[in-house]
Chains A and B, each alone.
Chain A
Amino acid sequence: NAGVTQTPKFQVLKTGQSMTLQCAQDMNHNSMYWYRQDPGMGLRLIYYSASEGTTDKGEVPNGYNVSRLNKREFSLRLESAAPSQTSVYFCASSELGVWATEAFFGQGTRLTVV
Chain B
Amino acid sequence: KQEVTQIPAALSVPEGENLVLNCSFTDSAIYNLQWFRQDPGKGLTSLLLIQSSQREQTSGRLNASLDKSSGRSTLYIAASQPGDSATYLCATDYQAGTALIFGKGTTLSVSS
Contact = CB atoms under 8 A, between A and B. Distances in A.
B43 A103 contact: no
A107 B89 CA distance: 16
B89 A90 contact: no
8 contacts: A42-B102, A44-B102, A50-B98, A90-B43, A90-B44, A104-B46, A107-B42, A107-B43
A90 B45 CA distance: 12
Secondary structure class of chain B's binding surface, majority of residues: strand
Contact of A48 (B51, B99, B103, B105): B99
Contact of B103 (A42, A56, A100): A42
B63 to A, nearest CB: 16
Contacts of A43: 44, 89, 91, 102
Which range contains the number of B residues in contact with the other chain? Answer: 20 to 34
Interface of A: 31, 33, 35, 40-45, 48, 50, 56, 58-59, 90, 92, 94, 96-108
Contacts of B102: 35, 42-44
Given A42-B105, A98-B31, 9 more contacts: A40-B104, A42-B104, A94-B100, A96-B31, A99-B51, A100-B97, A102-B34, A105-B36, A107-B43
